Structure 1
Amino acid sequence: MTEPGKLTFEHYELPEPGQGAILAKVIRTNICGSELHIWKGKHPTKKSGVMGHEMVGRIERLGPGVETDSAGEPIGLGDRVVAAYFLTCRKCQFCQQGQFALCANAYAYWVKDAAEAPHFHGSFATHYYIHPDQYVYKVPDNVPDTAAASVNCALTQVYYGLVKGGLRYGETVVLQGAGGLGLNAAAVAKEFGATVIVLDAVASRLDKAKQFGADHVIDIRQVDTPAKRIEAIRDWTGGRFADLALELSGVPDAFSEGIHYIRPGGRYVSIGNVSPGATTLFDPGLLTRKAIQIIPIIRYEPWYLHKALQFLSANMEKYPFADMLDAHFCLEDIGEALDKSANREVTRASIIPGDVQDA
């Protein structure tokens, strides 16, 4: 991306991975909400560079010293892997406090311009360079590419969010948004033993949410006011309201509305709103009176990527993970894929790079 909304293709020789690094050939990469924020110029700092981070790849070159993945499983040429899209240096002030998701060097190579070596900084490319401080895991054999591509970051992000939100068996969780994050969250919450309520404005997404474990869905175009939605959640919970809610839509007003869904003493996890400066009216007195805990989540502890892979492998036959991607594009058509995703014409667009010709 040369600037928000504009793309160009550039060609570089494949780099030889250094000590502890991996060069992977991109099998499939998805368009995540993070890319859409950058594409629309809403990211506070990233205005150009190689986008893409949610992907599954096949090891093409191994750097010296790489014999296992981050869980100690042997890996070699040709193996499929997924990698955390950020670095975990384990040396900065945050890592030293055990706050690995906040690593000060997390984005040292994220969305860098292609001209800077090793060039392949993002997964919107034929290849992706995995640095030594990126956690990487081998994909289980029973997990197809279409499902593995969403593990980082959608599945892992919401898995981590539900754990940090303290979801317990028998609780009720509300999910604001039924895109890639919301669908994955529905399945994880259901397997945790929760009653799941999902809100969205797109009927096809809500239909999918039911396939991923949602017990109740709310079409916000039909249940068209906050008061009506609050009342619906009150009715479904027998007047108790939800124990936990996750904001996954990226809509600021969803945040101010979401605390009304939650019981006194409940928890509210904010994941979707990642653009500073987008504001909403908020009632802090209600927050205090209800003693609601607000839990903002940025990235995840990188070993949760392995937990998410194990979850996916164990539940492949139970939920239609392989069917979550509903639009497929070649790399040359990635601009169209980004635009359709931004306009919500598709739920989850996926790119299959192949061998790019002279674009």
Structure 2
Amino acid sequence: MKGRLVALAGLEKTEIQEYDLPEVEPGAGLLKVRRANVCGSDLHIYHHLSVALRDIVMGHEFVAEIEQLGAGLTTDSAGAELRVGDRVVVVYFYTCHRCAACDRGDFAMCLNSMRSMALRPETAPHFHGAFATHFYLPPGQYFYKVPDDLDDAEVAGANCGLAQVMFALDKMGLGRGQTVVVQGAGGLGLYAAALAKTSGARVIVVEGEPARVEAARRFGADDVVDFSVHRTAQERAEQVAALTGGRGADLVLEVTGRAEAFLEAIEFARIGGGIASVGNLNVGERFQLTFAPALLTRKQLRVHGYLRYDPWYLRKALEFLQATKDRFPFASLSDRVYTIDEIDQAIARSESRDVARAAVVPG
């Protein structure tokens, strides 16, 4: 039997390629992709803004079902028993448990994290990405069984967007009574708003796209600083100050992917506050304005960048979705579904920013 996948075959060039389905080695699994999302990172990769990920199988945020289990693979990473047909979500990166980062307990920083993602499509077992009919689960990669009460649309974003911001907010000390500013209301920003609201924080979202402004309110934003009203960085800083009684935010989460947003985050944060940068992944993005490092010192800010998460946060993400599925419209992150043959349309739709996540299915 053969499967199909979306290969990135050059700058902004996709190809549908076909390969024989691989034999499943002991401890591995062959999954049938049910639904994937176009994440902001996929757009960066598509434009060759990632140095490490080029000429790859695209897609990493997804839900799948088990088609075949290799010898010895009988449970998920939490010990739940498995059978063919069970739905699962996979931690999209690898954790080797052997490198210097893993040895000191920094599993989110595993030096071999891109072991599978960075492989070229022609490299067996071929199915390294989520924009495909199948996904090959290598031995040792973390994955979790999906609860029956969560549908595919609700759970497809758990293994990237939700787990990522949950990890960042947790490590930054999100707590009840805080004021949290979320910069951007794409998928990560909406998940962050819901997490912060559920934690008892006051949530301010900074966004400009009308559809995303409305979505931010549905996902828990108490206030929105709208780019169409507050057009300059100074105006937005003044509005955040006004909404916080002049103090500023306890915590700012940057998930825009814009380098300039980091400068605004510094203005939004209170003295002694924290900034978590999750959206800025591309070293080619630079400040276009003068930056005074003294601002960090004088405001005594805690600044931390987060790329990936400790893998068990994916299980925590599933538990959060179960607990809040009736409170927040997680399935509404996508408003229509594209097939992998329509991947260029899905990418264009995501870049238009009028939807948080374009959804992709095998066909």
TM-score scaled to structure 2, two decimals? 0.96
- Residues 30-84 of structure 1, C-alpha deviations (whole Å, 9 max, x = no match): 0001110011121123221101000000000101111111011111100000000
Q: State the alpha-carbon separation in 2 of the partners of residues 222 and 131 from structure 1.
A: 49
Instruction: Give structure 1 stretches of 5+ with no counterpart.
Output: 355-359
Distance in 2 separating the partners of 1:188 and 1:19? 38
CA distance in 2, matches of 1:169, 1:255: 24
CA contact under 8 A between 2:181 and 2:203: conserved in structure 1? yes
2:61 pairs with 1:80: no
Identify which range, 10-19 or 260-269, moves more after superposition: 10-19
Q: Name the structure 1 match of 2:348.
A: 339
Tell me the equivalent position of 2:98. 91
How many angstroms apart in 2 are the aligned matches of 1:335 and 1:31?
A: 11
Rounded Cα–Cα distance in structure 1 between residues aligned with 2:321 and 2:52: 33
* Structure 1 counterpart of 2:318, one-letter code: L
User: Does the Cα contact within 8 Å between 1:248 and 1:272 map onto a contact in 2?
Assistant: yes
1:107-156 alpha-carbon deviations (Å, 9 max, x no partner): 01104211100000000100001112211000011111001101010011
Note the 1:1-359 alignment, pairs <5 A.
Answer: 1-280=8-287, 281=289, 282-354=291-363
More divergent stretch after superposition (12-21 vs 99-108): 12-21
* Aligned AA (2:37): N
| Counterpart for residue 3 of structure 2 | none
Distance 2:280 2:92 in 1: 19
CA gap 1:283/1:327 in 2 versus in 1, 3 angstroms: farther
**Would the aligned equivalents of 2:49 and 2:284 in 1 still touch at CA under 8 Å?**
no
Contact 2:48 2:54 survives alignment (8 Å): yes
SS in 2 for 1:28: strand
Letter in 1 for 2:108: A
RMSD of aligned residue pairs (Cα, Å): 1.0
Q: Is contact 1:165–1:269 with CA below 8 Å preserved after alignment?
A: yes
8 A contact 2:53–2:117 mirrored in 1 = no
Offset, 1:347: 2.2
The amino acid of 1:138's aligned partner reads: K
Amino acid at match of 2:32: K
CA–CA distance in structure 2, aligned partners of residues 63 and 340 of structure 1: 37
TM-score by length of 1: 0.97
Q: Partner residue of 1:357?
A: none
CA distance, structure 2, for counterparts of residue 340 and residue 146 of structure 1? 17
Once the two structures are aligned, what percentage of the paired residues are identical? 47
Structure 2 gap segments, 5+ residues each: 1-7
Distance 1:44 1:10 in 2: 23
Moved more, 202-211 or 218-227: 218-227
Q: Deviations over 1:237-275 (max 9, x none)?
A: 111110000000000000011111011110000000000
SS at match of 2:338: strand
Instruction: Give deviations 1:308-345, integer Å, cap 9, x for gaps.
Output: 00000111111101112123101100011112212324
Q: Is the 8 A contact 2:333 2:355 kept in 1?
A: no
What is the alpha-carbon distance in structure 2 between the residues aligned to residue 42 and residue 310 of structure 1?
A: 33
Structure 1 CA distance for aligned equivalents of residues 229 and 23 of structure 2: 55
Aligned mates of 2:316, 2:78 — CA distance in 1: 10
